[in-house]
Amino acid sequence: MSKNLYVAAVEEGTGKSLAVLGIMEVLSKNISNIGFFRPIVRSGKEMDPHIHLISERFNLNLEYEEMYGVSADEMHEYFVNSRMEEIQKIIMEKYKALERKSGFVLVEGTDFTGHSAPFEFDMNAEIANNLGCPIIAVLNGHGKSVDEVEESILLATETLSSVGASMIAMIVNRADHHKMTELEKELAALPNQPIYVIPEEPSLLNPTMAEIEKALGARRIYGGDEELTREIKATRIAAMTVPNFLDYIEDATLVITPADRADIIVGSFLAFMSENYPRPAGLLISGAIDTAEQVIKLIRGVEKLPMAVLKVSLDTYSTAMAVKDVRTFLTPKNERRNTTALAMFEKHVDVVKLEELINVKRSVAVTPLMFEYQLIERCKADKQHIVLPEGQEGRILKAAEILTLRDVVDITLLGNEDEIRKKMSALNVKLPDVNIIDPVTSELRKDFAMTYYELRKHKGISERLACDQLTDVSYFGTMMVYKGLADGMVSGAVHTTRHTIRPALEFIKTKDGGIVSSVFFMCLADRVLVYADCAVNPNPNAEQLADIAIQSAETARMFGIEPRIAMLSYSTGASGAGEDVEKVREATEIARKRRPDLMIDGPLQYDAAVDASVAKTKMPDSKVAGHATVFIFPDLNTGNNTYKAVQRSANAVAIGPVLQGLRKPVNDLSRGSTIEDIVNTVAITAIQAQALKKKE
């Protein structure tokens, strides 16, 4: 198995960071201890943007100094003193130090900037050879004919061959869309290593307001960090009257205007608030003079709009030229751009084949990232349709965008379509083809209401009340799942748990008359454990506790975790007595009788369940003690506090609550859920739906 890989750009403008991000994603699904290394960076003081992206996104526990060889300034000093051989030695020493503490090292080559650009690929080939790294070469296909791409491939192959470097694949990035078919056909006929072609994606080249702020050293006058993430599709210099200016404005435009043009500044704000004009991405005020205090006071008094206003001292022309030269990067905070890049990589690169080429061997340990990536991978293999009732909630829309870009699930949003579209526009969320249903006006409502009436008329529900009830997004979404128009539902970002679960209890109902319970997947540094019940049942009796144990075992197995079930209590084995211990002991016996195929033991204290040395003393003959993967808490108070204590104290990732026991998957979000939490919960719901269909 190879323990390293070198990604090298053949020329400038390849967008190799897209390839690096995609390859790192592939590696992180399989390997728990990855190092990232750049032989040469621009600066040894300010963190390299590519190292920043990879270390943050993949939670690499490494110091910046460990992740690069030399800075550009250091290299230049060695170069002018004719000591280039020492550069290779320094790079080798720092690389080897990182390699010793890593299971795999991904190396990213240089950026093709500065005086050495014409020789950089040769230099990267030599460095890769010295480090013993196989190479994936990245070429720039933008504006090139098929013959020109083939010529670049030939030159790269000859260069690598001349130094004895090993190349396992090539990626032609930023190819022109209208040449894709011809390129793929011609390049597939070339011998040796596979060649993947990724088309140009304009949105990856569009700068954000944050990048404008940093590159120009601008001062922020209005807007927060969220507003700085807005993508800029066009730039307009506004030096005309407001009526003429409004005719030229486009959606996601950066408006550049002199500091004394109060009319344009105010007009930009009004354009953003108006439904009759496109919304600017932001406003960039130029000039050495200050904008009038009254104007600044006016705009700062406007209710918060998702738009940023920046100020620079450059004149308007110089400002426009500086904006034109702003470079875009993949950054940890720009999730849309990262997701778009990953989606492009996964769509056009055979990831399974790439794993074989790199000769990746899956790690026994399972990190939180690996678990999350495996969720996404399983969803994409058999796409499900998930309904999200809270279609006007910003976090839901951003999560839906990520899920759609990566082709994880099909999504239906519920709510007023005009309001949802306005919210998307304000948040700069792109979901052009998403299915949106308004329960109030939907043609499905009448059929859903009659179904609900038939199911609940024995409870005194009238037809009119049923019709009214189906305007509620939770009832409408749950009915979509009940009738097979969606495979699962996720809600709770703004609704209570009761609001989310009640419709499911009314007509989806539970399996075999059991109870609904929940689990959390507790992702520790090297493994994933299952905790139950930490969210639903306050004080389950012995029968219910046994039900929770069996449900949790099935959920664990569904997600690739071999269930070894510990029934937790404050004493272990026969050492203690009391009502609470007896409940756990009785629940253990009930679960064993119902499912003799499961490994289950209890009562167990937590330390005996999780620590092999403690288990050897307290329960030496137990197959579960010391090796438990599923932990059943005796009551909600214990379970909820324990999962939160482990989450905070052990820096674990807690994914959940995941509901279990229902006939069809419905899951409840915490009202404090992050976008990542929502993405994970949707993925889990889709996998539950897959398992249900397979069982049926």
Average pLDDT, the chain: 90
pLDDT score for 514: 84
pLDDT band at residue 80, thresholds of 50, 70 and 90? low
**pLDDT tens digits, one per residue of 25-42:** 999 888 878 999 999 998
Residue 88: pLDDT band by 50, 70, 90 thresholds? confident
pLDDT at 563: 95
Task: Burial-class residue 67 by CB neighbours within 10 Å (0-12, 13-18, 19+).
Answer: buried
Long-range contacts of 539-545 (CB under 8 A, 24+ apart): 539/635, 539/636, 540/515, 540/635, 541/583, 542/583, 542/584, 542/586, 542/587, 542/590, 543/587, 543/590, 544/515, 545/583, 545/584, 545/587, 545/591, 545/632, 545/634
Higher pLDDT, 551 or 230: 551
456 in Cβ contact with 466 (< 8 Å): yes
Q: Which DSSP state fits 328?
A: P
- CA-nearest of 312, 263, 264 to 289 is 312
pLDDT surpassing 70 at residue 362: no
Averaged pLDDT, 639-646: 93
pLDDT at 550: 95
Tally: H helices and E strands in the chain: 27, 23
Could you tell me which residues come within 8 angstroms of residue 422 by beta carbon, excluding any fewer than 6 positions away?
275
Statement: residue 668 has pLDDT above 60: yes
Task: Decide if pLDDT at 473 tops 60.
Answer: yes
Residue 518 near residue 681, CB atoms below 8 Å: no
pLDDT of amino acid 363: 66
Tell me what pLDDT residue 119 has: 73
Task: Return the pLDDT at 468.
Answer: 93
Q: Please enumerate, as own/partner, the contacts of 88-96 that have beta carbons within 8 Å and a separation of 24 or more.
A: 88/126, 88/127, 88/130, 91/39, 91/40, 91/127, 91/130, 91/131, 92/130, 92/131, 94/37, 94/66, 94/68, 94/69, 95/37, 95/39, 95/69, 95/131
User: Is the per-residue pLDDT at 116 higher than 60?
Assistant: no
pLDDT in tens, 421-455: 988 888 888 898 899 999 999 999 999 999 999 99
The pLDDT value given to residue 410: 96
Average pLDDT score over residue span 518-543: 92
Over range 595-608, report the average pLDDT.
93
Q: Are 402 and 680 in contact (CB under 8 A)?
A: no
